[in-house]
Amino acid sequence: VEKSLEDIFEEKIASEIRIEPKDWMPEKYRKTLVRQISQHAHSEIVGMLPEGNWITRAPSLKRKAILLAKVQDEAGHGLYLYSAAETLGTSRDQMFEDLLSGKAKYSSIFNYPTLSWADVGAIGWLVDGAAIMNQVPLCRTSYGPYARAMVRVCKEESFHQRQGFEIMMTLCNGSEEQKEMAQEAFNRWWWPTLMMFGPKDEESPNTEQSMRWKIKRFTNDELRQRFVDMMVPQAEFLGLTVPDKDLKWNEAKGGYDFGAIDWNEFWNVVKGNGPCNKDRLKARNKAQEEGAWVREAAMAYAEKAATREKK
């Protein structure tokens, strides 16, 4: 019997062979990947804004240089991810247009404000920590270009997480006021970070199929639990209090039980009504307008170079 294209695809998935751009794939697989990878790319790009807010006010030259490098890394991650998504047949211009018009989603976490320098530490420690927890398994995702992009992204995220933890450690070993700043930032970022992993499994419409296709390797709740179990000892080490009165070690499950997440807040932010959603889109649109002359100049240069080559 001759195998159908679908059989070949399913066999590859079953035997952990990567799916590559020119391989046949179900339309829904392609669509899910474009959705997830483009949202991921948009998150990296919008994710530059909260920390970018502190570049001009970093407390020392060294901190400023490190923060600049981190924010630039996020731009690079966005570019690898748009390239990976483009291999599935959607143009970067189209994806970008969807971001700028507010049609496309990006991670809820980047719609919260950065009110103090400690927020830069908290983002590196918590947000990059959550990003790593989610992205290390994506190095084994079934779509080749996405998996390969994740390898380098994860290496850079590890550096980001260390720099965040180091900022928190410096503040926690500093004056009373510095320690308070760290705790206050922790209080504001903890719950939104737990929301980054997405809705709970029963309310996650995409998880089941994405697990079957090995796009996702763990469910939202599995990753969230691992994250809590990893972070609690780190908070203890820093001398910070996790802002959750229901947090408790559960011997039987070998992990922490934690309090209820405010899902109303989550969906509200996802729908565009978080504290900074409008500001974030405004900032991206402004950058697009102000960068128009650079794009035009680059196009003119490319055309000129092409004519010169023909001669």
**3-class secondary structure for 2-66?**
CCCHHHHHHHHHHCCCCECCCCCCCHHHHHHHHHHHHHHHHHHHHCHHHHHCCHHHCCCHHHHHH
Q: Please, which residue, 179 or 231, has the CB nearer to ligand FAQ?
A: 231
Three-state secondary structure call for residue 143 = strand
The site string for ligand FAQ over 245-284 (x = CB under 6 A, - otherwise) reads: -------------------------x--------------
Q: Please, which residue, 172 or 192, has the CB nearer to ligand FAQ?
A: 192
Instruction: Give the nearest distance from C-beta 293 to ligand FAQ in angstroms.
Output: 27
Count residues near ligand FAQ (CB under 6 A). Answer: 29
DSSP code for 150 = H
Separation between Cα atoms, residue 305 and residue 297, nearest integer Å: 12
Neighbours of 104 (CB within 10 A): 17
Q: Interacting stretch for ligand FAQ, rule CB under 6 A, among 56-64, 128-136, 229-237, 299-307?
A: 128-136
Q: Quote the distance between the C-alpha of residue 94 and its chain's center.
A: 20
Contact flag: residue 43 with ligand FAQ (CB under 6 A): yes
Instruction: Give the nearest distance from C-beta 274 to ligand FAQ in angstroms.
Output: 10
Enumerate residues 92-121 that contact ligand FAQ by CB under 6 A.
105, 107-108
| Buried b / exposed e along 10-22 (16+ C-beta atoms within 10 A) | eebbeeeebbeee
The site string for ligand FAQ over 183-222 (x = CB under 6 A, - otherwise) reads: ------------xxxxx----xxxx--x-----x---x--
Neighbours of 151 (CB within 10 A): 12
Contact flag: residue 163 with ligand FAQ (CB under 6 A): no
List 9, 12, 33, 40, residue binding ligand FAQ (CB under 6 A): 40
Q: Please, which residue, 74 or 179, has the CB nearer to ligand FAQ?
A: 74
Instruction: Give the nearest distance from C-beta 232 to ligand FAQ in angstroms.
Output: 21
- Residue 146 makes CB contacts below 8 A (sequence gap 6+) with 33, 37, 81, 84, 138
Residue 272 backbone class (left: φ over 0; alpha: ψ -120 to 50; beta: rest):
left
Instruction: Give the nearest distance from C-beta 217 to ligand FAQ in angstroms.
Output: 10
Enumerate residues 132-151 that contact ligand FAQ by CB under 6 A.
134
Q: Please, which residue, 43 or 225, has the CB nearer to ligand FAQ?
A: 43
DSSP code for 173 = T
Contact flag: residue 66 with ligand FAQ (CB under 6 A): no
Neighbours of 201 (CB within 10 A): 14
Q: Please, which residue, 135 or 183, has the CB nearer to ligand FAQ?
A: 135
Separation between Cα atoms, residue 302 and residue 81, nearest integer Å: 24
DSSP string, 240-268: PPPS-TT-EEETTTTEEE-----HHHHHH
Q: Please, which residue, 103 or 245, has the CB nearer to ligand FAQ?
A: 103
Name the residue whose CB lies closest to ligand FAQ.
47
Binding site for ligand FAQ (CB under 6 A): 35-36, 39-40, 43-44, 47, 74, 105, 107-108, 123, 127-128, 131, 134, 195-199, 204-207, 210, 216, 220, 270
